[in-house]
Amino acid sequence: MAERMLSLKEQNEIRLQELEKRAAEGVVFYGTDGVIIGADVQIGEGTVIYPNVIVKGETVIGKHCVLTSGTVIEDCTVGDGCVINATQCYQSVLEEDVKIGPFSHVRPGSRLCAHAKIGDFVEIKNSTIGVGTAVAHLTYVGDSDVGKNVNFGCGCVTVNYDGVHKFRCVIGDNAFIGCNVNLIAPVTVGDNTFIAAGSTITDSVPDRGFAIARSRQTTKENLGGEKLKDRVLKY
């Protein structure tokens, strides 16, 4: 005989009982609407959880973290003092004092080392992000090993897939990756390197190297007006 489905009222009672138990252990809830904490989850004292947060699986969260609304965490280990802002994290490790979000995605097999800063609209997949590295916004880092104190500009992509196989990028310590840079894996970027904005890098860059890979600008005078002469402006 099939088991009886719990009513919504019964489900909510069980959910609130779990939250009450967590509160007694020192977890702080800024409201309980939409908060779901799995029975196997471990959460450290002083961690703050906002409404509409889901934490499930074998997740372990340290002390004095902040999980803001919209966050989903499954099967992750999160160190002390992390701030996870409206972000989804799966089967990964966040070391202590990691700041991430809003609206980012940490996919399985990733490790964000201590003091890393991951901004808005960033996706990390099967990669290590080194200590103190900043991936500010609108960037994809997949299948990559990134060193410490690296700076990614806006719109960077590690191009890890050729349609058949996946390849890895290696980025050394203290590298500066300019905006709108494509790193075509497999490629290695050495320590203390500088990649100019708008570059597509297909060859490895040695330590302390400066790489620029973009064609020179050509400007045709008056041609812009000719191209736009038939354009109808709405406003």
Tell me, yes or no, whether 122 lies in a domain. Answer: yes
- Give whole-number Cα distances, 163 to 82, 159, 185, in Å: 36, 11, 12
Structural domain count of the chain: 1
What pTM was computed for the model? Answer: 0.91
In a domain, 143, yes or no: yes
For residue 82, give the DSSP letter.
-
Q: Is residue 46 part of a domain?
A: yes
Phi-psi domain of 81 (left: phi exceeds 0; alpha: psi -120 through 50; beta: other): left
SS3 label, residue 21: helix
Residue 24: predicted pLDDT: 92
Q: Select which of 64, 105, 115, 137 is catalytic.
A: 137
64 is catalytic: no
Sheet holding 77-78, edge to edge: 42-43, 60-61, 77-78, 93-94, 111-112, 128-129, 144-146, 169-171, 187-189
The candidate with the shortest Cα–Cα distance to 216, out of 201, 189, 198, 228, is: 198
Q: How far is CA 60 from CA 81, 170, 175, 229, in A?
A: 13, 29, 32, 61
Does residue 231 form part of some domain?
Answer: no
In a domain, 15, yes or no: yes
Give domain status of residue 17, yes or no. Answer: yes
Is 227 a domain residue? no
DSSP state letters, 32-72? -TT-EE-TT-EE-TT-EE-SS-EEETT-EE-SS-EE-TT-E
**Residue 187 domain flag:** no
Look at residue 129 in the predicted model and tell me its pLDDT.
98
- Domain span including residue 19: 10-172
Series of mean pLDDT values for 10-residue runs along the chain (235 residues):
80 83 93 92 97 97 98 98 98 98 98 98 98 97 98 97 94 98 98 97 97 90 74 67
Q: What is the CATH number of the domain that holds 108?
A: 2.160.10.10
What is residue 224's predicted lDDT score, i.e. its pLDDT?
Answer: 73
